[in-house]
Structure 1
Amino acid sequence: MQAVCGSHDGEAAADRHVAVEYSTDDEWAAHLVPFVRAGFDKGEQVQYFADATDPRLVMRTLADRGIDADTAVRRGQLVVTTADETYLSGARFDPDAMIVLWGRAVEAALGQGYPNLRVIGEMSWGARHLTGAERLLEYELRIHHEVFEQLPLTAWCFYDRRLLAPDALDVLTGAHLTRAGAAPRSHARPGLSVVPLAGGPGFRLSGSAGYESRRVAASASAAVAASPAQDITLDLSSLDHLDVAALAHIADAARRRPSGTPLRFVGAPPALRRLLELFPELAPGLQEVGR
């Protein structure tokens, strides 16, 4: 994706791609209203992609809290649409298609004279049995580098705790460098979590990459394989365990990378080196580097 000129107001990509959690309608509104008001104050275009929420409730909530949403819609500064028309507009959820959509949406906003596009997207559709929904984690991981580091875009991913299983919620919101509204968890942490690196293309894996977390490992590997970055790094320094199946996913992702450059990893646990000695066929495409 080519970078589109525009204003980020000095905000880092991590501050513009935020996971927002809420458990009540009041919490939802408490995040919604200031986000929209800030966009209007900056002269930005604001869009809302509704899923579980009726779009009419979005409009009514804004109006009830002193925002002239109807006028903003008429002049094109506010667009309230649905996940079916954005994330799910094709036959399946496709991260590549959605990344292209972001580029077109930002270009359209800039073409209308707005300095930035500001979006809220409800992610509750990820809990439904929809074709491609299993790629949501891959998508959340990819867009930090492929979208937010390239485009004048601010987007908050709305996660309703009432609609997602706690472990899935942890993994998905944990794929963001910035989170808001996160509540203390009473359940065990997920076996494996993955988050983009703030200092350059790559990801940090934490926890245990075993059988129970195989889908998370597969999503991380898919994000690695799809990355257009010339160089990409995996930080494994917080990884407690890595089984051969997870390593095979990583090795396969390294082979499929479009740039053809080795996948670098740092902080590898001793078990990874032992696995590479036992399964040398997995080593091509992987390169250990120092910190």
Structure 2
Amino acid sequence: MALLDRLELGDHICWTVDDDDTRQDEIAGILHDGLLSRHKVVYSGDDPAPVLSRLERRGVAIRAALRSGQLTAATPESSYLAGGSFDADGTLAHWQVEKARCRAEGYLGLRVVGDMNWALRQVPGADRLEWYEQRCNTVFADGYVMGVCAYDRRVFDPVHLRRLALAHPGAAGPLLPFDPETSLRIRRTDQPYGLWLSGEADMSNRHALRAMIEEVFVTRDGEPIVTLDVTALRFADTAAARVLLNAAATLGPLHVVGCTPVLVRLLLFLGAEEIPGLVVTSGY
């Protein structure tokens, strides 16, 4: 079963795994597709050798790819944990710099896959991983980077893993292929300034949605209004609707355009008309 073959640049997913063979094969597939698509590909894991071996079996000239810089395979100690701790803010800044470098080098995209077992080590800063996963969504919103965070459910506490999953717009699991129709896709827009949403926004991804809306307000640089285009949003539950309403009430003027009649009714029921600066527009 192909679990991750519908991923696109801009996606950031929590992938729960429980089988090493499947994990290594799927990761090799993501990296291989990226190499063929002229993307830069980055893999971080405790032991990159098995993944590289599977890439080689797919016909990739590993040494040449590593030497050219199109492929990077590193351990957490040389990536997330460089310096002996997890610096969440520094890592976010690193990905922004890496994006700019990839563009300058002519790559058409950047794919990042991380095995996240390092987070179970008692390293300084690991307690900020949930915050990092939420804020990391800003790295993906321009549609240039794809991120897959692989969490082994055999070793992560279920409650902890659930909180980490909530920080991602999308998810996949051992018997659950990634489905863009039921996941949330978030992209930045310039005209009008704001965000474009597609798929489904609900309790499972509300933290990712909130982080992105907060970020787009923080970085609006004089833009008077933030617009959320929800024309492609198939479904939004009460939790997602409350994220929108809270943003309008606390962050500034917000226009939500392209709403289905159901979403319009939900927002109005929850008090949209009482929030100054909030405009809700039907798209149907």
Other-structure match for 1:79: 72
Other-structure match for 2:96: 103
Asked if 1 retains the 8 angstrom alpha-carbon contact of 2:40 and 2:107, the reply is: yes
Other-structure match for 1:223: 212
Task: Report the alpha carbon displacement of residue 170 of structure 1 after superposing the two structures with TM.
Answer: 5.8
1:261 equivalent in alignment to 2:266: no
Asked if 2 retains the 8 angstrom alpha-carbon contact of 1:45 and 1:78, the reply is: yes
1:121 equivalent in alignment to 2:114: yes
List alignment gaps of at least 5 residues for structure 2: 1-5, 190-194, 221-225
Asked if 2 retains the 8 angstrom alpha-carbon contact of 1:251 and 1:285, the reply is: no
Q: Deviations over 1:140-196 (max 9, x none)?
A: 644442x32xx3x444443434345374576456x13xx6665159xxxxxxx9723
Asked if 2 retains the 8 angstrom alpha-carbon contact of 1:140 and 1:172, the reply is: no
Aligned-pair identity in percent equals 21
Q: Which amino acid aligns with 1:135?
A: W
1:138 equivalent in alignment to 2:134: yes
Asked if 2 retains the 8 angstrom alpha-carbon contact of 1:92 and 1:131, the reply is: no
Task: Report the alpha carbon displacement of residue 120 of structure 1 after superposing the two structures with TM.
Answer: 1.9
Task: Report the alpha carbon displacement of residue 60 of structure 1 after superposing the two structures with TM.
Answer: 4.6
**What TM-score comes out, normalization by structure 1 length?**
0.61
Q: CA–CA distance in 2 between the matches of 1:62 and 1:14?
A: 19
Other-structure match for 1:286: 278
Task: Report the alpha carbon displacement of residue 48 of structure 1 after superposing the two structures with TM.
Answer: 0.9
Q: Choose which of 31, 36, 54 in structure 1 pairs with 2:26.
A: 31
Distance 1:262 1:87, change over 3 A: farther
List alignment gaps of at least 5 residues for structure 1: 1-12, 186-192
Q: How does 1:193-208 map to 2 (within 5 A)?
A: 195-197=184-186, 201-203=195-197, 206=201
Task: Report the alpha carbon displacement of residue 82 of structure 1 after superposing the two structures with TM.
Answer: 3.9
Q: CA–CA distance in 1 between the matches of 2:235 and 2:109?
A: 36
Q: Which amino acid aligns with 1:158?
A: A
Distance 1:83 1:139, change over 3 A: farther
Q: Choose which of 271, 274, 279 in structure 2 pairs with 1:276.
A: 271
Task: Report the alpha carbon displacement of residue 239 of structure 1 after superposing the two structures with TM.
Answer: 4.4
**What TM-score comes out, normalization by structure 2 length?**
0.62
Q: CA–CA distance in 2 between the matches of 1:61 and 1:78?
A: 14
Q: Deviations over 1:49-79 (max 9, x none)?
A: 22xx323444455456654424432343321
Q: Over the residues paired in the alignment, what is the CA RMSD in angstroms?
A: 4.4
Equivalent pairs, count: 247
Asked if 1 retains the 8 angstrom alpha-carbon contact of 2:253 and 2:276, the reply is: no
